Amino acid sequence: MGHVELAVVGLACCLAVASAAKLGTVYTEGGFVEGVNKKLSLLGGDSVDIFKGIPFATAKTLENPQRHPGWQGTLKAKDFTKRCLQATLTQDSTFGDEDCLNLNIWVPQGRKQVSQDLPVMIWIYGGAFLMGAGQGANFLSNYLYDGEEIATRGNVIVVTFNYRVGPLGFLSTGDANLPGNYGLRDQHMAIAWVKRNIAAFGGDPNNITIFGESAGGASVSLQTLSPYNKGLIRRAISQSGVALSPWAIQHNPLFWAQKVAKKVGCPEDDTARMAECLKVTDPRALTLAYRLPLKAQEYPVLHYLGFIPVVDGDFIPDDPLNLFANAADIDYLAGTNSMDGHLFATVDMPAIDKSYKDITEEDFHWLVSGLTTTKGLDGARAAFDIYTESWAQDPSQETKKKTVVDLETDILFLMPTEIALAQHRANAKDPNTGHSAVPTHWYPYTMEDGNYLEITKKMDSSSMKQHLRTNFLHFWTLTYQELPTAVDEALPVPPLDDSEAAPVPPADGSEAAPVPPADDSLAPQMPAAIGF
């Protein structure tokens, strides 16, 4: 029995040592929080501390967020909280809650002592600024943005959080009455909270990386450009979205605010009265007052993204193109996927996913025209010509449908990303300095070589490529820009009523109006599809 007792005692000691490396209860500026320590194997040893649903801010409807007042006792931070109020995918009902500004933290732990001074990565989710949550979609209790994998593989602290989306996050009158960007300010509040509190969780507050995808990638880029984040961020990663993406900035927010105001019965002609009314309107009604069309319209779907960030003169003080000096001391990594534009293309031209339907030259010209409004017919012809060059050698439907996706990928994702990287490079230090421990060849970047890394499942020295779609980059940044501007900044666009497909009303009262009215006195404005 002596040997058995010693073995039991020894096992107990080992388990005690293994379980010792956990945070337990942590004190934050809001109060004590208690998470869950999850063992990564049956034998103990490495683990991860998980804290879910920690409040970082509070906010009233259509107002800037404020620091959370805190709580009494110990907060049991063991479950994800509700996402921010948003429309369902069918856009006929809502889910989530206005009280939603909470964050989640994953802290990897070793066997002997709690982690200290770990790098911190803060994730910003995408979703067209209309939907999403810090935990991501739920697949049988497996959440898309569970931070455990990145935290334990990379030995970093991972933080995710909620921010307001849709009209509640981005409705703006374009003036001081409803300046907008509430969702961006939520993001900033989360980043600032992490900066102030992450040391208590074993993180290094001076080594914070923000990263995100799609609208989250554009948000990352915008956060680096905002003067509010000076000194908070060390590194940033934009995946499939940057501040220069044509869907990242709304140039005529008042039009969309007026549409919502009309739908919920608020004044439309006085922004002060409109703001006062909207702030006391049921937030669910505000959310459902806007519907993003999910089938082909008069113009490409890009132009119907109503509630996105704005240049408010404060949080985003100027056109993002002029703000890259603010990000000069932030290391920046950005990239795109080869078919990032596929979702937009599917909405604009459903035939690309249907083998029994063909794409015609007229179809493609309509799409090109809708994405090159600032340069008018000259821009449409030039873009059409360069993108259809390959059709002479290969007129197959496969080639034509791929061209549709390539066009939307280039305009909406790749070219803005290339420009953003060039702007950052022009303002920041040499990106080739320092040491990179990535397990593949990554050659120094030069303008002549245009090196980029192609990320696939199997990577080797051949993954290093050069000159990504350089001829198209030259077209959009040089040839296209030299064309005369047809419309000042933007072009009028439907919808003018509440239907999903609201045609442009004819300027002369006739039945058809293939060309939108050129004046902007009453009509809404299209964001410039290419504004480089």
Q: What is the pTM of this model?
A: 0.87
C-beta of residue 222 within 8 angstroms of C-beta of residue 198: no
pLDDT reported for residue 462: 81
Residue with tokens 């960030």: 309
For residue range 82-115, list pLDDT tens digits in order: 999 999 989 999 999 999 999 999 999 988 888 8
Alpha-carbon torsion angle 337, 342, 345, 351, nearest 10? 150
Dump the DSSP string for 316-333: S-S-GGG-GGGGTTSEEE
- Alpha carbons within 13 A on the beta-carbon side of 62: 24
Looking at residue 81, its pLDDT comes to 94
User: How far are the Cα atoms of 147, 163, 284 from residue 98, in angstroms, in the given order?
Assistant: 24, 10, 9
- What are the distances in angstroms from CA 386 to CA 319, 364, 472? 29, 12, 8
Helix (H, G, I), strand (E, B) or coil at 207: strand
Per DSSP, the three-state class of 17 is helix
pLDDT at 45: 79
Q: How far apart are the first and last CA of the chain?
A: 80
Inter-CA distances, 340 with 123, 161, 447, Å? 19, 24, 24
Integer-rounded Cα Rg, in Å, for the chain is: 25
> Which residue did the predictor score with more confidence, 123 or 461?
123
List pLDDT tens digits, range 484-501: 988 554 444 444 344 433
Place of tokens 């605010």: 257
Give whole-number Cα distances, 141 to 35, 81, 146, 193, 525, in Å: 18, 13, 10, 27, 42
Count of other CB atoms within 10 angstroms of residue 262: 15
Tell me what the pLDDT averaged over the chain comes to: 86
pLDDT digits (tens, 9 = 90+) for 12-65: 344 444 455 888 899 999 999 999 999 988 776 789 999 999 999 999 999 999
| The 47-55 sheet, strands edge to edge | 36-39, 47-55, 102-109, 157-161, 118-124, 203-213, 235-239, 331-335
Enumerate the β-bridge partners of residue 55: 102
Minimum mean pLDDT among 240-249, 293-302, 408-417, 451-460: which range? 451-460
Residue 278, helix vs strand vs coil: helix
Which residue in 315, 37, 266 sits closest to 151, CA to CA? 37
66: three-class secondary structure by DSSP: strand
Q: What is the pLDDT of residue 23?
A: 86
- Of the candidates 290, 525, 301, 252, the one whose C-alpha atom is nearest the C-alpha of residue 412 is 301
Query: Considering only CA atoms, which of 184, 163, 167, 183 is closest in space to residue 258?
Result: 167
**Mean pLDDT of all residues in 347-370:** 94
Determine the Cα–Cα distance for residues 259 and 246; give it in Å rounded to an integer. 21
Rounded CA-CA distance 312/256 in Å is 15
CB 106 within 8 A of CB 52: no
Please say whether the beta carbons of 250 and 310 come within 8 A.
Answer: yes
Tokens representing residue 203 in the block:
């993180």
**Average pLDDT value for residue range 202-208:** 97
Scanning the structure block, which residue is given the tokens 């990106």?
431
Instruction: Kindly state the tokens that stand for 442.
Output: 């990554």
Q: What is the pLDDT of residues 459-483, one digit of tens each?
A: 887 887 777 888 888 899 889 999 9
What is the reported pLDDT for 43? Answer: 72
